[in-house]
Homo-oligomer: A and B are copies of this chain.
Amino acid sequence: MGQQLTTTKTPDEIIPSSIVFLARALADENRLRIIMSLAKGEKTVSALVEELGISQPLASHHLKELKRALLVTVERSGPFIYYELVDPRIATIAGDLGGLAAHLLANRTTF
């Protein structure tokens, strides 16, 4: 178990695949909203479920993917499980993508 991220590859091969790996984490609206929410501080699953209006199993599923992508850490406190962003840079990068998207949309010629 646990996705193999490193093998015997040249940097040219390693880097693209690890970029793709993180980009995938941002490429789903529910995961992105989880990331943005966690950027404001650690949260329990139920807090995310309520805030985002998604089902509990769906939240757990996406949190597991974010863990697989090394983006979140998990900590239990009694019956609650807190998820926390490992590195806030992922939210910054998401913001950069949003800025670029806004720029591309504003300057696009074709509809």
A residues near B (Cβ < 8 Å) are 2, 5-6, 15-24, 26-29, 32-33, 36, 70-71, 86-87, 89-90, 93-94, 96-98, 100-105, 107-108, 110-111
Q: A20-B28, A27-B23, A29-B16 are in contact. Are A2 and B100 (CB under 8 A)?
A: no
Q: Are B98 and A90 in contact (CB under 8 A)?
A: no
Q: Are A89 and B93 in contact (CB under 8 A)?
A: no
Cβ-closest chain B residue relative to A94: B19
Q: Are A89 and B100 in contact (CB under 8 A)?
A: yes
Q: A96-B96, A100-B22 are in contact. Are A29 and B17 (CB under 8 A)?
A: yes
Q: Are A5 and B105 in contact (CB under 8 A)?
A: yes
Q: Are A19 and B101 in contact (CB under 8 A)?
A: yes
Q: Are B27 and A24 in contact (CB under 8 A)?
A: yes
